[in-house]
Structure 1
Amino acid sequence: MVRQENIQIFDLRSALERLKQQPGELLYTDEPVDPQAELAGVYRYIGAGGTVARPTRLGPAMIFNHVKGFNNIQVLIGLLASRKRVATLLDTTPEKLAFCLMEALQEPLAPVTIPREKAICQEIVHRADEPGFDLRKIVPAPTNTEEDAGPYITIGMAYASDPETGDADITIHRLCIQSADEISMYFAPGRHLDVFRKKAEAANQPLPLSISIGVDPAIEICACFEPPTTPLGYNELALAGGVRKRPVELADCLTVQAKAIANAEFVIEGELLPNVRVREDRQTMSGKAMPEFPGYTGPANPAIPLIKVKAVTHRKQPIMQTVIGPSEEHVNLAGIPTEASILQMVERAMPGRLLNVYAHSAGGGKYMAVLQFKKSVPSDEGRQRQAALLAFAAFSELKHVFLVDEDVDPFDSNDVLWALNTRYQGDVSTVFIPGVRCHPLDPSQVPEFSTSIRDTGISCKVIFDCTVPYDLKERFQRAKFKEVDVRRFAPTLLGED
């Protein structure tokens, strides 16, 4: 892969300029598109991938220049829906993405606040107390399908502070626009902003927050780290600073006591209201929310917290960014931080043995990981399963771990399945860990599916040990082909590294 050192990425627009230098990575269309289901329906065929219902594929990011109902606003989708594209945007290679983030974990750089007059996210201001304010007419949030509960902000960086300690955190949430100035906010169990919200609610106080949309991709990736890698009180913006070797710039909001990302395309300012709940699908009453990463439409929550919007600010001619819930974009957002978390934990426990990790697309970046493990001495036998147990500890939502040897490419599903077929025996190579809490969006984790499941969200985690026992390694040598310089014979076929 050829690095593009001449364009330094610090916001969404510089990221897009970098992609323009990469043939086939960014597609523009002037065809008018309806943000309600049509936009996502188009991208399903262009480049969604992931767990989206087939037919789908990996393809370029896409910018729609003419979105019905919105003038001078482009909508971007699929920016991170390719591991190669993410690597281009983070100045590394697809195989080294987790290592890039692990280095940032070792050298974080805290964000800084700049003066408001320098905050380009506030070039245009819409206040909710002004006549005619309507969030739905300012922010072109699409729906993924015709069944969605409403228009969703799918990649908004929600940023708030602990009302007791002042510690700040940034996360991505399911945000449904409910009215002209209201947004519902779904909290998966354990989210740090929910801890902040509950503290504010206990004091009968609103929690001020900002939602920044359209930012440096490094921020979007780093916002997806979870405990124990980033415990309560850890600001993931410092990781994004570590990736870029420059601090993320924040600005004070105009209407609430919160900060926002200063160069975001859009910023929504608001407050999470105490003791107020709303039915997520109150606009449709369908019982459905939106497509989620496992590939199914998530159920609408009957009572979730509500944000009262105070203002929307944005850059001139802003770019709205969105994702398809089950797409490869979610795989990368969730999976690459998962890989870094697993690498870091296993490296601390047994240095040099875990060579790489892939949070597989089939698991949406959360449910399934492939660990490439090297056994160098007889005493390494058994440590591969210890590494799998550490992976479950590093990322609690992980359901299945596949262990492969150093001669198996963890990023090649056919190679992994080859190991499953030639280096695995079900009765001795499978480890079941029943009764463990996993992720609530897995539809198989219900008592109706199995009598062994005592409560919704509990799962049987499984280790598939597809590694060769150390004392048998000599019997499992792959056929050795002659090393040649293939560029002599096909100089353009493989491209440049």
Structure 2
Amino acid sequence: MMNSVTDSKTAIEVRDLRSALEFLRSIPGEVVTTDVEVDPNAELSGVYRKVGAGGTCQRPTRKGPAMIFNRVKGFEGFRVAIGLMSTRQRVGHLLGCAPERLGFLLKDSVRNPIQPVIVGPEKAQCQEVVHYATDPDFDLRTLLPAPTNTPEDAGPYITMGMCYASDIETGESDITIHRLCVQSKDELSMWLTPGRHIDAFRMKAEAAGKPLPISISIGVDPAIEIAACFEPPTTPLGFDELSIAGALRGRPVELAPCLTIRERAIAHAEVVIEGELLPNVRVREDQNTNTGKAMPEFPGYTGEAKEALPVIKVRAVTHRRNPILQTTVGPSEEHVNMAGIPTEASILDMVGRAMPGRLQNVFAHSSGGGKFLAVMQFRKASPVDEGRQRQAALLAFSSFPELKHVILVDEDVDIFDTDDVLWAMQTRYQGDVSTVFIPGVRCHPLDPSQTPEFSPSIPQPGVSCKTIFDCTVPFHLKAHFERSKFMEVDVSRFLPDFA
């Protein structure tokens, strides 16, 4: 039965990565493939930067199709897929929703969760082939074609791993995506941004002197990947984001018990890494390269290698036959969509509950990687609404703590058209009266401008001055700011093929 949250044949057709790719192949221009052998060491990501990465990547780049590399140097039998969600339009196709309504779809899905279910071995497609870490020839570096995004990277990275773990006391589970660097034949380093739920599980297990079992599912239904990017307060500790993916598809996500640890993995995943986060064990992220660099991150810069990261000891790798490893480029538009659309949903939900009918839509803008900048379309219906637009911006900062800037615009501005947003800033904004500064607030640690060296108002790295740019017209002046009205015409009379 179709879930009321989405009304599209996509909800039926897409069940895993393979069906998602098959669905996209039915839409012209959404997927390209190559049989030319590619080196996963920097070359693969270098190719996709020009084909379709977009986002905050170094120019030249563009929004383009997803891409499948059928031959990967040194990894016979593996294919690599990249950029599945690197355009908002493609996310709309995959979730059966108009691109501009995706935030609303995700908001409704949070409110209508469908919990995951556990299935038996007969449905565990992810375990068709099994490699145990105890096997003498087991080596992550030769088993999985994890790309190195640039020549400076600390090593090969798993960038699209759905990390699933559970609280050792309550049994509550969480799924998130983290930076995972291959450190040795059976070890991964894991960078956990402060506040993530799996880090809370890890710290509790470590305090008890216990390892934390963790599964990493790679290559899954895109609905799971985007649901995994929700953050508190929308999804508080104990909220399993897999239930959001269930709501998006109108059916529960299927989990399979792991073979070597007491945890579950996504049954239809292309690849699963089973392991344990070891207590009181740390590793320097760039121990194998000594570059001081980690990998390209969503702001468009290469992150600094961390001095002491938790370690995952790998117990096994399982995968489907003829597996597809899914990856992404950190600063790409794919990150914008995965992180940004849940951000939009969180803002729509909180502001909508506080002041129904006023916030028309939100766009977590590409320039902020889906995290730093939100453009909010606000409707003032009466004189008493003046000032409420700024209250809405304050609520947005509360609903997504990593948000740095908010641009407020009126309902006649297209928030998805940057030219239109900047037009509003040029004609409806005066810096001295339209700007609100909120200094000394914690933001996201990957913003390189958040240092005392950059601004004397910043006491320590990671603290920022959050800013509201109010580009809305004061209500009493609305009549003076009406846009020129053109005649409505049927262009197809003149250009039959015009779309």
Residue among 334, 350, 353 paired with 2:339:
334
Deviation at 1:493? 2.5
In structure 2, the partner of 1:25 is: 30
Q: How many Å separate the matches in 2 of 1:72 and 1:4? A: 31
Deviation at 1:487? 2.0
- 8 Å Cα contact 1:119/1:262 also seen in 2: yes
In structure 1, the partner of 2:467 is: 462
Q: Which letter does structure 2 place at the counterpart of 1:353?
A: R
In structure 2, the partner of 1:139 is: 144
Deviation at 1:4? 5.3
Deviation at 1:488? 2.0
Q: Is residue 2:221 matched to residue 1:216?
A: yes
Structure 1, 163-172 or 136-145: larger mean CA deviation: 136-145
In structure 2, the partner of 1:233 is: 238
Give the unaligned 5+ runs of structure 1. none
In structure 2, the partner of 1:354 is: 359
Q: Is residue 2:394 matched to residue 1:398?
A: no
Q: Is residue 2:324 matched to residue 1:319?
A: yes
Residue among 169, 174, 187 paired with 2:179:
174
TM-score with structure 1 setting the length:
0.98
Q: How many Å separate the matches in 1 of 2:460 and 2:20? A: 44
Residue among 30, 51, 58 paired with 2:63:
58
Q: How many Å separate the matches in 1 of 2:113 and 2:194? A: 26
Q: Deviations over 1:110-135 (max 9, x none)?
A: 00000023200000000001120111
Q: For 2:238, what is the secondary structure of its paired residue? A: coil
Q: Which letter does structure 1 place at the counterpart of 2:447?
A: D
Q: Deviations over 1:157-192 (max 9, x none)?
A: 000000010000000000000011000000101010
Q: For 1:435, what is the secondary structure of its paired residue? A: strand
Percent pairwise identity: 69
In structure 1, the partner of 2:83 is: 78
- 8 Å Cα contact 1:251/1:262 also seen in 2: yes
Deviation at 1:277? 0.1
Q: How many Å separate the matches in 2 of 1:246 and 1:489? A: 46
Q: How many Å separate the matches in 1 of 2:47 and 2:498? A: 30
Q: Which letter does structure 2 place at the counterpart of 1:400?
A: H
Residue among 368, 379, 383 paired with 1:378:
383
- 8 Å Cα contact 2:11/2:96 also seen in 1: no
Q: How many Å separate the matches in 1 of 2:412 and 2:26? A: 34
Describe the shift of the 1:485–1:389 C-alpha distance in structure 2 as closer, same or farther (beyond 3 A): same
Q: Which letter does structure 2 place at the counterpart of 1:307?
A: I
Q: Deviations over 1:202-235 (max 9, x none)?
A: 1110000100000000000000000000000000
Q: Deviations over 1:290-315 (max 9, x none)?
A: 00000000000000000000000000
Q: How many Å separate the matches in 1 of 2:396 and 2:12? A: 36
In structure 2, the partner of 1:263 is: 268
In structure 2, the partner of 1:471 is: 476
Q: Deviations over 1:240-288 (max 9, x none)?
A: 0011110000000000000000000000000000000000000001111
In structure 1, the partner of 2:293 is: 288
In structure 1, the partner of 2:4 is: none
Residue among 150, 153, 162 paired with 2:155:
150
Q: For 1:47, what is the secondary structure of its paired residue? A: helix
Residue among 443, 468, 474 paired with 2:448:
443
Q: Which letter does structure 2 place at the counterpart of 1:208?
A: P
- 8 Å Cα contact 2:160/2:177 also seen in 1: yes
Residue among 15, 29, 34 paired with 1:10:
15
- 8 Å Cα contact 1:251/1:261 also seen in 2: yes
Deviation at 1:430? 0.3
Deviation at 1:43? 0.5
Q: How many Å separate the matches in 2 of 1:192 and 1:130? A: 33
Structure 2 counterparts to residues 95-174 of structure 1, below 5 A? 95-174=100-179
- 8 Å Cα contact 2:351/2:392 also seen in 1: yes
Q: How many Å separate the matches in 2 of 1:170 and 1:368? A: 24
In structure 2, the partner of 1:279 is: 284
Structure 1, 167-176 or 12-21: larger mean CA deviation: 12-21
Q: For 1:396, what is the secondary structure of its paired residue? A: coil
In structure 2, the partner of 1:303 is: 308
Q: For 2:278, what is the secondary structure of its paired residue? A: strand
- 8 Å Cα contact 1:7/1:14 also seen in 2: no
Deviation at 1:73? 1.0
Residue among 231, 247, 250 paired with 2:252:
247
In structure 2, the partner of 1:46 is: 51
Q: Which letter does structure 1 place at the counterpart of 2:334?
A: E
Q: Deviations over 1:365-397 (max 9, x none)?
A: 000000000011111111000000000000000
Matched residues, number: 493
- 8 Å Cα contact 2:491/2:498 also seen in 1: no
In structure 2, the partner of 1:205 is: 210
Deviation at 1:3? 6.1
Q: Which letter does structure 2 place at the counterpart of 1:478?
A: R
Q: Which letter does structure 2 place at the counterpart of 1:146?
A: P
- 8 Å Cα contact 2:11/2:250 also seen in 1: no
- 8 Å Cα contact 2:10/2:95 also seen in 1: no
In structure 1, the partner of 2:3 is: none
Deviation at 1:490? 2.0
Q: For 1:19, what is the secondary structure of its paired residue? A: helix
Q: Which letter does structure 1 place at the counterpart of 2:123?
A: K
The Cα RMSD (Å) is 1.0
Q: Which letter does structure 2 place at the counterpart of 1:179?
A: S
- 8 Å Cα contact 1:434/1:459 also seen in 2: yes
Deviation at 1:8? 1.4
- 8 Å Cα contact 2:219/2:269 also seen in 1: yes
Q: For 1:109, what is the secondary structure of its paired residue? A: coil
Q: How many Å separate the matches in 2 of 1:5 and 1:98? A: 18
Q: Which letter does structure 1 place at the counterpart of 2:369?
A: G
Q: How many Å separate the matches in 1 of 2:383 and 2:54? A: 41
Q: How many Å separate the matches in 2 of 1:405 and 1:211? A: 43
Q: Is residue 2:372 matched to residue 1:367?
A: yes
Describe the shift of the 1:154–1:369 C-alpha distance in structure 2 as closer, same or farther (beyond 3 A): same
Residue among 92, 96, 102 paired with 2:97:
92
Give the unaligned 5+ runs of structure 2. 1-6
